[in-house]
Structure 1
């Protein structure tokens, strides 16, 4: 077996129907980052500060890089932009192997696109689900048309405006169950309305996934 000293490379690209300057602000300003990056948990603000402020080096044109040589860049004009998350990595690594960072960027950049294109009102509140399940079953649970974002990640818009991102260690069309993460993003909900969303997803998730865990802030 060949051992690789570096992780696999990735290049995750997301077009956004928003101007370059607005997108750059969204990836550099912590209050906006909180509206699309990751999911709610007690350490989210610290995570954003560490990744995008303390450890990031900003260069021109709009690019930020990290010590592992990975980088995030924004290109485009006043109307449309492209965001890329890139890691050079080891070219000999298996290109189809699961990589948590790669799939994470697929999820997060889709959440960024939703924020800037749909412009939902109010603060984002999320439900984060983890467990073991088949991808097809999870996508059916989301109850909406799935938009593939690679083989392991997909986006679903529910009828009531929730953005659901599903990401699996196995390809989502695999007949085998594997670890799945789901981020449900809501905007502008009060405590009672959000509690209904949380409880609904908790019940459905417990019925579908093994080792089901639900995280909210």
Structure 2
């Protein structure tokens, strides 16, 4: 899995190694995110020169490019061995996170990132109906758009987005620079839209525990 961004290699490497920047794109807000970032990217990651890191499970992240353009590549040992139809939670998670990283580096939004994370059982068609922007695919199970308010919306499912079957879907809405009142409006709006289209609908923000996978 890889993305290209119109920023220099050094800036990208900072974004994937510095906890304060990682918090602006990795995962979603919940009460254990800071500890998770430190565990994955500080405690468990091994850094190699040039800009490359790896983990005990054989996963690697590599940044290359120059002062104007960079490419981020994530590889997993054995990933895809069972074919593209087999769901891989780690792979699909990285697809979503790379979208969020690309948005941060390309758009350079101002202010602290705050997220609304939605989970539940629905179909890809219903999940994609939640936002009216133009949807872009990143593999068969992940898509993203920017809604009319400028928030990044990433949808990821355990089945392909075009499948008519209902399955667990995750929607991450990334906002930047909102005060408490504005963020509460976003949270209430997404909760209102999500509940009618998803069974076992759940919503997570910074002060709530992570939902059960």
TM normalised by structure 1 equals: 0.93
Match of 2:90 among 101, 105, 109: 101
TM-aligned CA distance change 1:20 to 1:145, over 3 Å: same
Matched, 1:62 2:24: no
Q: What is aligned with 2:204?
A: 215
Q: Which residue number in structure 1 is paired with residue 209 of structure 2?
A: none
How do 1:1-217 and structure 2 match up within 5 A?
12-89=1-78, 92-217=81-206
Task: Classify 1:173/1:14 alpha carbon distance in 2 versus 1 (closer, same or farther; 3 Å).
Answer: same
| Secondary structure, aligned partner of 2:82 | coil
- Secondary structure at the counterpart of residue 195 of structure 2: helix
Moved more, 82-91 or 200-209: 82-91
Partner of 1:8: none
The answer for the alignment partner of 2:211 in structure 1 is none
Matched-pair contact (CA < 8 Å) for 2:79–2:91: no
- Runs of 4+ in structure 1 deviating by more than 2 angstroms, as ranges, are 90-96
State the distance in 2 between where 1:92 and 1:75 align. 26
DSSP 3-state at the match of 2:169: strand
How far did 1:89 drift? Answer: 1.3
**SS in structure 2 at match of 1:75:** strand
Question: What is the root-mean-square deviation of aligned Cα atoms in Å?
Answer: 1.0
Shift of 1:129: 0.2
Structure 2 length-normalised TM: 0.94
Q: Structure 1 regions of 5+ residues with no counterpart?
A: 1-11
- How far, CA to CA, are the matches of 2:21 and 2:80 in structure 1? 34
Q: Distance in 2 between matches of 1:126 and 1:91?
A: 30
> In structure 2, the residue corresponding to 1:69 is in which secondary structure?
coil
Q: Supply the distance in 1 between the matched residues of 2:184 and 2:176 (Cα, whole angstroms).
A: 13
1:138-179 CA deviation, whole Å, 9 max, x = no partner?
111122110011100000110110100000000001111111
Deviation at 1:90, TM superposition (A): 6.6
The count of residues paired between Structure 1 and Structure 2 equals 206
